[in-house]
Structures are given as structure tokens and as C-alpha cells.
Chain A
Amino acid sequence: MAALTAAIANLKGGVGKSTTTVMLADGLAYYYGMNVLVIDLDPQANSSQMLLTEQGVQAASDQGKGTHHLLASFMAGKPPSAAPFVMPNAVTLEELRLAEAQDRRQGWISSLPAHPQLRLRELSLEEEWYGKSGTPTTLADALAKHFREAFAPLQSIYDIILLDCPPHLSPLARAGLALADAYITPTIADSVSTWGTKQFSDWVGKFIAPDLPSRNFVLITRFRDTKYARQVASDLREIYLKDRWFGPTIPESVHVLNAMDRAALDSYNTLRGKYAGVTGDVRRLAERFTDFMTQRTGVTWQKVRD
């Protein structure tokens, strides 16, 4: 069975794309025993930092792991292959680490991390490409083709591939969006994020996925329970994005911030220890997204943990 590839994307920054990526990776691995590959295409490298720590992101880069190295292999004209650039272990949960140690792997997370070097390498690639009369669109297409072939062998190893996309439409970002079977759109219940989500819908609908609504899973994040936010959230569900799947509303919470700050590369925590007051939100996110996956793929998933 080929892994579903889901792009976590929105043209608006600061809406919780990286946090959603990590919460979803943890939730699907923990509750459903899925093997998850997180690919970070955002040079800010936030989801990589959340999974691996800053030290881990640098160590991965030093070991030749990361999307910037994958990009370098494309620039060097090497055959498409992503496996050598993957960090196989990006688990932060004690339950998953123990299951692996006891040789009964039920849920695993690997990372193809980003590094701030990614942006510089992308700029260098763009200069080289445009210098040869290439265009942003031909570069995006070439990258998408390379990535599709590079990720193909990974499709049978993982159950789901999560692509954490940057909040813009660079050729690299467009290549990532072109690979996706599904689009996870985190947004905030405010007017500027609502408008940003419209821009994203219009662009992806026009250039990449004319059937976007059936492939779009929307998540309201960083929710502050005010009358205004409730009204905007309701309008998103009932007016602006009423043809989309909605996940649970994720509250703005210090528990979320804490969960994304790993103590050290060799530090593990239980699911409840990591997520504390938002553990139920992680569970609901995994449940709802699994329903969405089932609707997309026809494959049903059973929980392996409560």
C-alpha cells in the first residue's frame, strides 16, 4: 500500500503549520501505529527543530541528512533518491521508543529535516536555473518530477508522508504541493488568516488541484475562545470553507508551546507528559484525520493505543 502524501500548507505564515505537522505525526504514530515520514520543505526548519532539537537539526545536516542535501543532489544531476537523506529516528515519545526497543514497532516517525541552508541552496539553484533561461514553473516541474521519483521507494515503507511546506510559492514549495494527495490547511480564526486561506484555495485550486475541496482538511489552530473568534470559526465552517473537512479546533495553549520544545535530542516523554492539557486534542486530530484518510484511500485504520 502506497503512503498517502499530505502537504501541510497555507500561504499565511504563523498559522501553526509546523505545530500541526508534529501533533499529527505524534497522534497518528501513537494512536494508530502508523509509520510517519515528516519532510520539511520550509527553510525555517521549525518542525525539524521540534522533532530533533536545534542540535539535532545541525547534527543531521553534518551527517548529510536533510532536504538541502536532497536539493544539492538534484543540482548535481544525480539520480533521484531521498532515502540517504532521511533521519530514520525522529521519535520523541517514550511509548514509541519502548515499542521499538521491544521489537514490536507500532508507530514510528522519521524525518527528512530542513536546515536554514535550504533557502540559500534554493536561491543558488534558482540563479543557476534562470541563468539557463529556465522559469520558476519549469524549475518547479523539474523538482516535482525529481522528488516524485526520489520519494517513490519510501511510499512502501511509510503509511503517511507529511510535507511541511513554507508559506510562499517558491519553486521548491510548488514542487511539494504538486506531490500531495491531500492538503492540510491550518488557519487562525481571524480576518487576515481567513483571507490568506482564500488566497491559498484560489491558487492551489487553479494551478494544482482543481478538486481541492475534497482533498482539503482544515484545522483552526491557536484558538482563543472569544466571541469574535467563535464567530469567525463559525463563518469559516459554514460560509467560506463549508465544502472542506474540518479537524478539531486546537486551542492556543501553553501546553502546545511546551510540547514543541524538546529538552534534548536524547529526551523522551510520554504522550500525556508531552501534551498535558491538549492530549485530547492530539487524539481527536488523529481520529478525524484518519477518517479523512479512509475517505481518500478506502483503507480503514484501527487504534493500537488508547
Chain B
Amino acid sequence: MAESPGLTPVEYIDRFFDELRAEVRANPKLAARLVKALGGNVVFEDEAKADVANPYSLAAEGDKARFFKIFGAMKLGDLKKVLKENNLATRVDMTGKNADQLVDMLYTRAARKVHERKSSMF
């Protein structure tokens, strides 16, 4: 800021939001977090699904069809990444499984964990 002392407050704010917009475009995880924090609904685009889609959150929604629609469209490598990064499967567990089997595993294990960790009273 020191090199541009002549900017108006609105120009400073514009710069800030320009930077934020650029980061949101480049970083889908940050974008998803920001949108969720604001109470919005995150729409998953194909290329960002593996980075953004949260199997626990989607399993907790209880919409199995939506879960399978989102994860069923993923490539094998992306599914393995989601399973691994969410502590839902090890390499050993995934060996020899095809994409459909991995989606089944993803749903079964995520739903079970949600059931185990969410209060059964509320």
C-alpha cells in the first residue's frame, strides 16, 4: 500500500476483492470454505470435485442418490485420493477395486462414521 498513497478507500477495497476473487478461482478448497462460511451451497464442478467434495458432509445429508451422482462421476485416481485424504481407506483396502466398488466403500464408510460420531439424540 505504501507505494500507492493516492488510492481511494473504494479502490483499496476493489483491489482486495480482486485478489480474493483470483484466489477463489485458483483455490477451490478455499472457495468452498468461504461459501460455506457464508451459508451458501457449494456446487461441485468436475475438475474440483476431488478437492472440494466432503464425503462426511454429503453422507450426513442423507441423500444417497446425490452422493453417488457426485462421486460416481469421479475418475479412479480421484476417488482413491478422496478415500485416502478422508481417512476412509488405506492403499491395501483399495487395491484391486474398481470405481464403482470404491464409491460403495466411500459411502458405506462415511455414512457409518457419521452415524458413530453424530449424537443419536439430536
Q: Is the CB of B121 within 8 A of A239?
A: no
Complex contact A198–B117 (CB within 8 A): yes
Chain A proximity of B121: nearest CB distance (Å)? 4
Q: Please provide the chain B residues from 80 to 122 with a CB less than 8 Å away from any CB of chain A in the complex.
A: 86-87, 114, 116-122
**Which residues from chain A contact B86 at a C-beta distance below 8 Å?**
231
- Interface residues as binary, A214-236 with B (CB distance below 8 Å gives 1, 0 otherwise): 00000000000000100100110
Interface stretch (choices A149-157, A205-213, A262-270, A293-301): A205-213
A139 to chain B, nearest CB (A): 24
Q: Find out whether the CB atom of B114 lies under 8 angstroms from the CB atom of A198.
A: no
Whether B122 contacts A239 by the Cβ 8 Å rule is no
Interchain CB contact under 8 A, B118 and A198 = yes
Are the C-beta atoms of A239 and B116 separated by less than 8 Å? no
Question: If the complex has contacts A205-B122, A213-B122, A243-B122, are A198 and B56 also in contact, measured as CB distance less than 8 A?
Answer: no
Question: How many of A's residues come within 8 Å of B, CB to CB?
Answer: 20
Asked if A239 meets B119 with Cβ closer than 8 Å, knowing A231-B86, A234-B33, the reply is: no
Cα–Cα, bound, A76→B4 (Å): 77
Query: Which residues in A have their C-beta under 8 angstroms from that of B118?
Result: 198, 239-240
**A residues in contact with B36, CB < 8 Å:** 238
CA distance A148 to B121 in the complex (A): 27
Residues of chain B from 1 to 56 with CB closer than 8 A to chain A in the complex: 33, 36, 54, 56
Interface: B60 (CB within 8 A): yes
Shortest B78–chain A CB gap in Å is: 17
Q: Is A261 an interface residue (CB 8 A)?
A: no
The interface residues of chain A, by DSSP majority, are classed as: helix
Query: How many inter-chain residue pairs (CB < 8 Å) link A and B?
Result: 46
Do A198 and B57 form a contact, CB below 8 Å, given A231-B86, A234-B33, A239-B114? no
User: Using a Cβ–Cβ cut-off of 8 Å, how many residues does chain B contribute to the interface with A?
Assistant: 16
- A127 sits at the interface (CB 8 A): no
- Known A-B contacts A231-B86, A234-B33; the reply to A239 vs B60 at CB < 8 A is yes
Given A212-B122, A231-B86, A234-B33, the answer on whether A240 and B117 have CB atoms closer than 8 Å is yes
Flag if A239 contacts B56 (CB, 8 Å). yes
Residues of chain A within 8 A (CB-CB) of B87 are 191, 228
Nearest-Cβ distance from residue A255 to partner chain B, whole angstroms = 26
A106 neighbours in B (Cβ, 8 Å): none
Binding site for A on B (CB under 8 A): 33, 36, 54, 56-57, 60, 86-87, 114, 116-122
**A-B residue pairs in contact (CB < 8 Å), sample of 28:** A191-B87, A195-B116, A195-B117, A198-B116, A198-B117, A198-B118, A201-B119, A201-B121, A201-B122, A202-B119, A202-B120, A205-B121, A205-B122, A210-B121, A212-B122, A231-B86, A235-B56, A235-B57, A238-B57, A239-B56, A239-B60, A239-B114, A239-B117, A239-B118, A240-B114, A240-B117, A240-B118, A243-B122
